[in-house]
Each structure stands twice: as C-alpha cells, then as structure tokens.
Amino acid sequence: MLAVDAIACWRGERAVFAGLSFGLGPGEALLLAGRNGAGKSSLLRILAGLLPPAEGRVLWNGEDTAEDRPAHARRLRWLGHADALKPTLTVAENMAVFARLAGQGPEAVAQALAAVGLAPLASLPARVLSAGQRRRASLARLAIGAAPLWLLDEPTVGLDTASVAQLGLLLAAHRAAGGMVIAATHLELPLPGAETLAL
Amino acid sequence: MIALLARELRLALRTPGDSLGAVLFFVLVAALFPFGVGPEPAALARLAPGALVASALLAALLPLDRMFGAEAEDGSLDLLLLSGVAPSGLALVKAIGHWLTTAVPLLLAVPVAAAMLNLPTEAWGVAVLALALATLVLSLLGTLGAALTLGARRGGVLLPLLVLPLAIPAVIFAAGAIEAQAGGVSPRPFLLFLAAQAALLAPLAPLAAGAALREG
C-alpha cells in the first residue's frame, strides 16, 4: 500500500505542485496527466526516492520510505525517459546485470525478453536496435523478478500498436498479481480502470 | 556489487579505446619532457620521478568526467541508484573499476615512459608500485570529484581543478619513493605514507561520493 502525504515539489522559487496526497492499493493503477513541465516526471522521481520531496512524505505500508531507501528501491521497478541500454553490450547482457541485482538468473531474462517479443534479438548489441525495440528492451526489465510497484515515465513512446498490446498484457498480469502501476503519459495506455491524477 | 564490477569491466573491454587513449596520453606527456628539458641524461634522470607521476595522474584523470556522466545521460544512473545497492557502494565499485581499467594499463606502460625519461632501471619496480598506490588515491578522489561535478555545466573543467590539489600529497610521496630508490635509499617510508593515504580514502571518498550522488 503506497500513500503519499502532502508532498510538494519546487523548481527554483516556483512550486511545481504542493499539498499533493493520494493512496494506491494492490492491483490499482494511477495515470498522471498534465502538460509538459507539470511535474509528472518529478513526481515519479519523488515516488522512487530519486528526488527528495520539498515537503511531505511518501509512505509504504505506513512507513516513511526515506528511512530505508535501498529497501524501497528493491520493491519498485523504474522505467525512465531514457532507455538505459549500453550500446556495446548485447540486449541479454544489458538485462542480465539488473537481473542479478534483483536476485534473478538468466532464465528470468529470457522470459522477460520473450514477453516483449525480443527473444530473437537477445544476442545482438543494443546499438543496432531501433527506437521502438530499445523501448521494448527497457520494458522487459520491468518483468524481471517481482516488484510490487511499477513507476513508468512515458512507457509507450516509440511503440507500435502490437507492442502496446504486449505492454497491456504485462501490465494486466502485474496488476492481477497484486501489483501497482503509476504511469505518466500523454498517449493511451492499456490500463483499464485506472484513476487519473491531473497535475 | 560483484555484478556491478563485472559490468564495469565488460563495458571497458567492449570499448578498449578509452583505456588505450589514457595509456597513449601518458606516454606522450612523458615524451614531452625530453623535448622540453633537452636530451642531457643527468638532467632528465633528476626530473624523471616527478614527470612520471605527474603524467600518470593527468592520464588517469581523462576518463573521470564520463564516469557518472555517461551513466546519467543514458538513464542508467537512475537504475543503478534504484538497484538496492547503496550509493556509496556504487561509488566504491566505480573507483575500483576506474583503477582496474585505467590505472592498471598505465602501470604496464611505465617501463616505456621510464626509459624515455632515463630513469635508472633499478627504480622501475618501485615506480610501478608507487604509481599503483598514487593512482589508487586518484581513483578514489576522482570518483568523489566526478560525483560532485555530475550535472555541473563545466564539469569536465571543474573536475581536475577539484581533484588535482587534493592529489598533491600522493604526488609528493610517489615521486619521493622513486627518487629514494634511484638514489639508493629505502623507498619504504614513502610507500607506507602512500598506502596510508589510500587506506584513509578507501572508506571516506565513496561515502562522500555516495552522498553527492544521492542529492544530485
């Protein structure tokens, strides 16, 4: 159970948002909407613990996540703007590092790559991938090991409709297993029943 | 952390040009001294210890501004910070990775540079040992500098200005050790002082760098 208690975010002298509170339970999803610069990415970074909130707290099961950031980091999966792929490593090698950090083996990598349809490209260096394939590779990282909270920043940028449908399956399976999703996006996301938070 | 170190080494192996560039830079800077000072053997041999240490540290500085910069640009840094490894642990891995992928190749090139500077051959072994410790100090300080200047607009310029003054003690003792050995005196006290600096920085620099990464 994630709860956000009156957080604020400042950029310079200007408040991006303030007094923001919401909660999210198992299986629920939240869409962040708002114009460019409304603070969607900043809110995701605060939720992940990458950025300290100017005010307020982010609570997980009633405990302040700022007190044990490594533990909070282990229960979330992060999909940022950038794809975080090293061009000289193969797709599988790019995944394997984070699989090992999540305590998973190579079979979890193969499964995750198959889930986004990249299994045939696993042994190619990441620099030869197209933009959409790179995005799918970073989506595959979400499915390595189980983590209850997924934080997604524009997950569908560059994806074709078939890949968006694949993402929909990943998201549905994650939510069916009690996972939570918070996504910032301008595009349609396959998240049935998701609440929308306008920033 | 072993997984992260393996990643550092694999990335360095896939782009050997970075390590090779630092080695060539080291040899070329060392080669400038004979041209500047003149080829007189005695004068060169007197300069050799200091010139060797200064060139090695300058070469080791080269890859530092990409240490966290490259990771931040492609989004990997966020994932690394969210990997459950403490930021100070990540900084320690980066420091060890920098030493293994940049300093160790430099040490292999020491005989080439030492020969050009007319350093007596009996001091070559001590030169490698002294530079190994001095570059370890620089790797630790450099990781701290790279973490602090991450995101700064002129980070590449700021970093040497921040790191080199802190490396002065390492230069003094490394050059002292080589000079002592060349002059027939025991280099042991100098090397012990160098090792003490590395031992002091090994826990402190990653802790400070980790704090800088967390706030950055």
Average pLDDT in chain B: 93
The answer to whether the beta carbons of residues A191 and A155 sit under 8 Å apart is no
Q: Is the pLDDT of residue B215 over 80?
A: no
pLDDT of residue A85: 92
Alpha helices (H) in chain B, listed in sequence order: 2-14, 16-37, 41-61, 69-73, 76-81, 87-98, 104-108, 110-116, 124-149, 155-166, 168-182, 188-215
Helices (DSSP H) in chain A: which residue ranges? Answer: 40-48, 69-74, 91-101, 106-115, 131-140, 161-176
CATH number for the A1-75+148-199 domain, one of 3.40.50.300, 3.20.20.210, 3.20.20.70, 3.10.20.590? 3.40.50.300
Contacts with A49 from chain B: Cβ below 8 Å = 82
Give pLDDT, residue B77. 93
Q: How many domains does chain B have?
A: 1
pLDDT band of A30, cuts 50, 70, 90: very high
Q: Is the minimum CB–CB distance between A80 and chain B shorter than 8 Å? A: yes
Q: Does A149 touch chain B (CB under 8 A)?
A: no
Q: Is the pLDDT of residue A175 over 90?
A: yes
Chain A hits for B14, CB-CB cut-off 8 Å, are 88-89
Tokens, residue B29: 């800077």
Residues of chain A with CATH 3.40.50.300: 1-75+148-199
A100 touches chain B (CB under 8 A): yes
Greater confidence (B26 vs B2) lies with B26
pLDDT at B216 over 80: no
Q: Closest residue of A to B8, CA-based?
A: A97
Residue B29, number of CB atoms within 10 A of its CB: 17
List the single residue in B11, B79, B83 with the smallest CB-CB distance to A89.
B11
- How do residues A34-56 score in pLDDT, each as one tens digit? 888 888 999 999 999 998 888 99
pLDDT at B211 over 90: yes
Structure tokens at B121: 């051959």
pTM of the model: 0.91
Q: Report d(CA B211, CA A121) in Å as an integer.
A: 38
A73: nearest Cα among A108, A41, A98: A98
Task: List the domain range (segments joined by +) for residue B51.
Answer: 2-215
What pLDDT score was predicted for residue A92? 92
- pLDDT at residue A187, as a whole number: 83
The radius of gyration computed from the CA coordinates of chain A, to the nearest angstrom, equals 17
pLDDT value at residue B192: 97
Is residue B148 very low, low, confident or very high in pLDDT (cuts 50, 70, 90)? very high
What single-letter amino acid sits at A52? P
Query: Would the CB atoms of B74 and A84 count as touching at under 8 Å?
Result: yes
Secondary structure E strands in A12-54: 14-24, 29-33
Q: What is the mean pLDDT of residues A109-132?
A: 91
Asked if A74 is an interface residue toward chain B (Cβ–Cβ < 8 A), one would say yes
B103: its two tokens: 């300093």
